[in-house]
C-alpha cells in the first residue's frame, strides 16, 4: 500500500467520522484505541489493522470496501437509503433535487 493510498483512506475515515458526528477522541474510545492512532490513520501515517478496520466500519456504518477503496457497496447504499428515510419530507425533496442536478451534470 502506497503513502497516497494511506492518505486517501485517512481522508475517507475523517470525512465519515465527521459525518457521523464523532470527535477523534470519541472514535478512539469506541474503537478502544488511542487518539494518536486515530490521528495517524486520518493523516495517512499508519496502515489500519484488519481487526480495527472491521470495528471502524461497524462504528462508522460503512463497508470496509469503502474505507479501503472508496467504492460503495450495496450495503452502503442501503445505509444511505435508511438515513434518507429518516429525514423530513421537505429534506427528502431537497435530496431528490440534488440527485436530479447531479444526474443532469453527468450527461
Based on the fold, state whether residues 87 and 42 are members of the same structural domain: no
- The answer to whether 40 and 49 have CB atoms below 8 angstroms apart is no
Give the model confidence (pLDDT) of 46-87 as tens digits: 999 999 999 999 999 999 999 999 988 777 788 888 889 999
39 pLDDT tier (thresholds 50, 70, 90)? very high
- DSSP structural state of residue 106: T
What's the mean per-residue pLDDT of the chain?
Answer: 92
Q: What is the CATH number of the domain that holds 49?
A: 1.10.260.40
> How many domains, the chain?
2
Based on the fold, state whether residues 40 and 14 are members of the same structural domain: yes
Domain hosting residue 101, numbered range: 73-107
Based on the fold, state whether residues 14 and 61 are members of the same structural domain: yes
Instruction: Work out the percent of the chain whose per-residue pLDDT is above 90.
Output: 75
Which residue, chain included where needed, has cell 486515530?
Answer: 38
d(CA 38, CA 4): 17
Amino acid at each position: 500500500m502506497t503513502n497516497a493510498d494511506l492518505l486517501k483512506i485517512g481522508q475517507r475515515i475523517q470525512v465519515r467520522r465527521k459525518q457521523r458526528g464523532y470527535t477523534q477522541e470519541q472514535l478512539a474510545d469506541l474503537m478502544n484505541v488511542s487518539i494518536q492512532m486515530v490521528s495517524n490513520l486520518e493523516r495517512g501515517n499508519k496502515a489500519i489493522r484488519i481487526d480495527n478496520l472491521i470495528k471502524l466500519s461497524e462504528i462508522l456504518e460503512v463497508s470496509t470496501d469503502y474505507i479501503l477503496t472508496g467504492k460503495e457497496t450495496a450495503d452502503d447504499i442501503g445505509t444511505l437509503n435508511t438515513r434518507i428515510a429518516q429525514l423530513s419530507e421537505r429534506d427528502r425533496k431537497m435530496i431528490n433535487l440534488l440527485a436530479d442536478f447531479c444526474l443532469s451534470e453527468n450527461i
